[in-house]
Structure 1
Amino acid sequence: MTILQRLIEQAKHPNGLIGSIMLRIMNVAHRGMTSWLIESGAIKNGDIVLDIGCGGGKTIQALSRINHHGKIYGIDFSEQAIRNATKVNKKDVASGKVIVKQASVSNIPYPDAYFDKIIACQTHYFWQDFAKDVKEVFRVLKKNGQFIIISELYKINYHREDYKTNKEIRQLFDHVGFQFVNIQEHKRNGWLYIMGTK
């Protein structure tokens, strides 16, 4: 396995010391995209929010700061990510405002129509069965709730073989049942923002 392949594997499933370092790097690297999410105004005070692929936990921390009366949940496939995210959000985890759990997007451990907002920042291109996983997200989203994906375009093009174009994404979201789909590109930074409203 090459060094690049090892790094990609650690990005997919952070593990051990290298994984912990990778999670810290991702926390810094994703800061701009998290700010773009917050500036969009999509997250409202009082929302129940799920962060899929919560990684090192800094996005959860940023969302908690603007969502004083809401609750933030995070799931990640990586046990190391859950440890790091718990540590970063220690105070909010202790108070019950933040709940992080090891879980997969393919089997979200929450009931139907539970969340107001669901976000996936720099993770969806790793999902094994994107169409099936979007249906699972739809299941746990409340009516009129919103599912937001933010990602770097070049990573989508590198990691995904399907659902790479805005047209494909829009068709999938329409097929799953989203009433409205908004897709924006941040040209300067090469970022993609997808928001589906149930």
Structure 2
Amino acid sequence: MQSFKEAVSRHCRHPSTGPVGWLVKQILVRNNEYLEKEAARLLGIQPHDRVLEVGFGPGLGLQYALEHIDRYDRGNVYGLEMSTEMIRIATKRLHQHIASGKLQLTLGIVMNLPYPDNSMDRIFHVNCYYFWDDLDKGCKELYRVLSPGGAMITTLNYKLLKLSVEKDLNVYAHNYDPDAYMKSLEKTGFTGVRMEHLKDGDKDFPAIFACKE
């Protein structure tokens, strides 16, 4: 039983192939879709924005973000993911947007973002920050690439996250308390850091907002 829990934990942080990987991917799609959609909506994406999602998983959030981008304007969507399996799945899902040049997917980690300073107008991530090896360094990198006047949002299913940690099904979820993440954002220089408890139909979830002046 412990080996199964370890496998689930490992795939939650870094989804890959195999039976447990398949199971975790189904869970990600089922439990994260509304969070991805709400994050993209709450960002207030404009047709000309450059939008980044960190840890995009199967690509649902990227798909929602692309709906707000004008195909004829300079707006673009960028995705960063450390799992090659998730990049494969998202590429298959969104291949037309990649071919059109509106979407760019990159293998990498948040602590070393491969983007220039002030290059993104909007950033979002979903059920993600607690997997970063260095929370402060990740926040610093996000602050670096966000342009002045830009906004960032994270959404998460805190109840499910807390339960999965308590059941030893998510042992790599470090610092999952939102307060630790928010304090790191403020220390990094983000302003307007706040958490709101929102609803999507019968689902309630916290959303954390941050800006760069």
TM-score normalised by length of structure 1 = 0.89
Q: Note if contact 1:181-1:197 (Cα within 8 Å) is conserved in structure 2.
A: yes
For 2:5, the equivalent position in structure 1 comes to: 4
Q: Give 5+ residue unaligned stretches, structure 1.
A: none
Question: Matches of 1:11 and 1:169 in 2, distance apart?
Answer: 19
Deviating runs (4+, > 4 A) in structure 1? none
Which AA in structure 1 matches 2:92?
A: K
Partner of 1:172: 184
CA separation of 1:64 and 1:139: change in aligned 2, threshold 3 A: same
Displacement of 1:52 in angstroms is 0.3
Whether contact under 8 Å (2:82, 2:108) holds in the other structure is yes
The letter for the 1-side match of 2:45 is I
Which residue is 1:28 aligned to?
30
Give the direction of change, closer, same or farther, for the CA distance of 1:145–1:189 in structure 2 (3 Å limit). same
- Aligned-pair RMSD on alpha carbons? 2.1
CA contact (8 A) 1:151 1:193 kept: yes
1:189 has 2:203 as partner: yes
* CA offsets 1:135-171 (integer angstroms, 9 cap, x no match): 11111110111121111113554365536143x4443
User: What is the DSSP-based 3-state SS (H/G/I as helix, E as strand, rest coil) of the residue aligned with 2:11?
Assistant: helix
Provide the C-alpha distance between the structure 2 equivalents of 1:113 and 1:152, rounded to a whole number of angstroms.
29
- CA distance 1:78–1:118, change in 2 (3 Å): same
* Alpha-carbon distance change, 152 to 26 in structure 1, aligned in 2, over 3 angstroms: same
What CA deviation, in whole Å up to 9, does each residue of 1:57-114 have, x standing for no partner? 1110111112224211101111111111111101001111010011001111111111
CA distance in 1, matches of 2:156, 2:191: 22
Say if 1:125 and 1:156, in contact at 8 Å, map to a contact too.
no
| Whole-Å separation in 1 of the counterparts to 2:93 and 2:26 | 10
- 5+ residue gaps, structure 2: none
Is 1:57 matched with 2:59?
yes
Task: Among all aligned residue pairs of Structure 1 and Structure 2, give the percentage whose two residues are the same amino acid.
Answer: 26
Counterpart code for 2:90: A
Q: Is 1:46 the equivalent of 2:48?
A: yes
Higher relative contact order (CA 8 A, sep 6+): 2
